[in-house]
Amino acid sequence: MHFVNEIGLHINEILRGETATVTLPVKMIKNLLFHLKLNMMIKQVFVLLISFFLGIYSSTAGSAILSVETRGQGHPMILIHGMSCSADVWDEVAAYYEDRYELHLVTIAGFGNHQSVEAPHVLKAIRDALLEYVKAESLNRPVLMGHSMGGFLSLWAAVEAPDVFGRIISVDGLPYFPVLSQPGITPETAGPIVEMIQNNIKNATPEMARFSQEMMIASMIGDPEKRPAVVEMGMNSNTDVIARAMGEMYTTDIRQEVKAVDVPVLAFGSWYGYRQWGVTKESASAAYRAQFDAMPNATFKMAETALHFIFYDEPEWFFKVVDGFLAER
């Protein structure tokens, strides 16, 4: 990889006219540069896959970290999207529950939009803004459901404010997701991979970014009709915010803290998208349970064939499980 980068730097010098001794046609050099970049990108696909998906271009000044759409009536339920998504990802879930619950659909600044987040720690700022929102709206022990990064944030919010939420639902979000693919990784040892991921996000050309986004979403959503909208959410996200949030997912480990969460928790997991790497339902379930079994009131459910967006790929099963969990006394 270092050798390829050296070539790339050499060609950049040529294209800027800083090296006069090379006589290759500029068009040929540009083509070579494109293929070198493509080669580097393909080699990094696995890392990008476990990093969910990129958020692309660019920054404008933001205001509030959260914007919330409220609909329906009944007991409050807050829905938090995942990395590089917006509240639109919950459309089917919202349609299913809005006749029974007062839904609070959260969109985070920089996710599916170009707003910025000036806070030094993006995920902590989101968590704190969520808790402030619940307090300001006087929500009485709402259900908190999050997908992926949103699931992690839901668990973290329950750690920080143990008496605020009535139930937590984490859809393929974990207290520390990196260990699923990199056993033994810790926030202290994650520095090099964080740097690489953030550089990939920030330095990708629009063409490379879209190519990566489409590949990754295809690995996370089984239904092809659902993919384009989620791809665009990522393409419309703020690069800086996504890069920082993604890095913080590697450097924020709450596995010990969640042991103190005693409200009912429903955790979903997925495995089917990783079977080509030798992952089985049993091995994946064991890895998820290692993080959730220590929680006193946690229930874990592994999807059968759904990819990362479980509510898209197995909706009937998903709603049946959630309904059962919400009906428990």
In a domain, 229, yes or no: no
pLDDT at position 329, please? 80
User: Considering the chain, what percentage of its residues have pLDDT values greater than 70?
Assistant: 81
Which amino acid is present at 53? F
**Residue 234 in 3-state DSSP?**
helix
Q: Is 81 left (phi over 0), alpha (psi -120 to 50) or beta?
A: beta
- The total domain count for the chain is 2
Confidence band for 40, pLDDT divided at 50, 70 and 90:
very low
Considering the domain boundaries, does residue 272 fall inside one? yes
Domain annotation covers residue 278? yes
Whether 307 is covered by a domain: the verdict is yes
Q: Note the pLDDT of residue 98.
A: 97
Q: Tell me the CATH number at 83.
A: 3.40.50.1820
Pairing of strands 101-108, 66-71: antiparallel
Residues 96 and 166 in one domain: yes
Q: Examine residue 315 and state whether it is found in any structural domain, yes or no.
A: yes
The region that residue 182 occupies, defined by phi over 0 for left and psi between -120 and 50 for alpha, beta otherwise, is: beta
Domain assignment of residue 96, yes or no? yes
Q: What is the pLDDT of residues 133-190, one digit of tens each?
A: 999 999 999 999 999 999 999 999 999 999 999 999 999 999 999 999 999 999 999 9
pLDDT computed for residue 63 by the predictor: 42
187 in a domain, yes or no? no
Of 31 and 261, the one with more pLDDT: 261
**Within a 13 Å sphere around the CA of 15, how many CA atoms are in the beta-carbon half?**
15
Residue 42 vs residue 187, higher pLDDT: 187
> Which range of residues forms the domain containing residue 125?
66-182+250-327
Is residue 21 domain-shared with residue 90, that is, in the same domain? no
82-100 as b/e: b if 16+ CB within 10 A = bbbbbbbbbeebbebbbee
Same domain, 79 and 156: yes
- The residues, any chain, with a CB within 8 Å of residue 48's CB and separated by 6 or more, are 54, 197, 200, 212, 216
Tell me whether residue 30 is in a domain: yes
> Do 104 and 158 fall into the same domain?
yes
pLDDT (tens digit per residue) in 97-116:
999 999 999 999 999 999 99
pLDDT in tens, 205-253: 999 999 999 999 999 999 999 999 999 999 999 999 999 999 999 999 9
Token pair in block for residue 134: 């619940």
Q: What is the pLDDT of residue 23?
A: 38
Write down the pLDDT at residue 111. Answer: 98
Pull the structure tokens for residue 237: 């996200």
pLDDT-derived band at 124, boundaries 50, 70, 90: very high
Whether residue 25 sits in one domain with residue 75: no
Determine the average pLDDT of the residues in 259-272: 98
d(Cα 154, Cα 80) in Å, to the nearest integer? Answer: 8
- 31 lies in the same domain as 178: no
* Judgement on whether residues 129 and 267 belong to the same structural domain of the protein: yes
Mean predicted confidence (pLDDT) in 121-134: 98
**Is the domain of 29 the same as that of 72?**
no
Cα separation of 267 and 277, whole Å? Answer: 23
- The mean of the pLDDT values for the chain is 86
Q: Is the pLDDT of residue 323 over 70?
A: yes
Per-residue pLDDT averaged across 261-286, rounded? 97
Kindly state whether residues 167 and 267 are assigned to the same domain: yes
Give the pLDDT of residue 6: 31
Least confident of 40-54, 126-140, 262-276: 40-54
Residue-wise DSSP of 266-282: EEEE--GGGGGGT--HH
> Could you tell me if 91 and 30 lie in one domain?
no
pLDDT digits (tens, 9 = 90+) for 57-101: 232 333 489 999 999 999 999 999 999 999 999 999 999 999 999
d(CA 138, CA 127): 17
Q: Does residue 22 sit in the same domain as residue 155?
A: no
Q: Are residues 20 and 74 in the same domain?
A: no
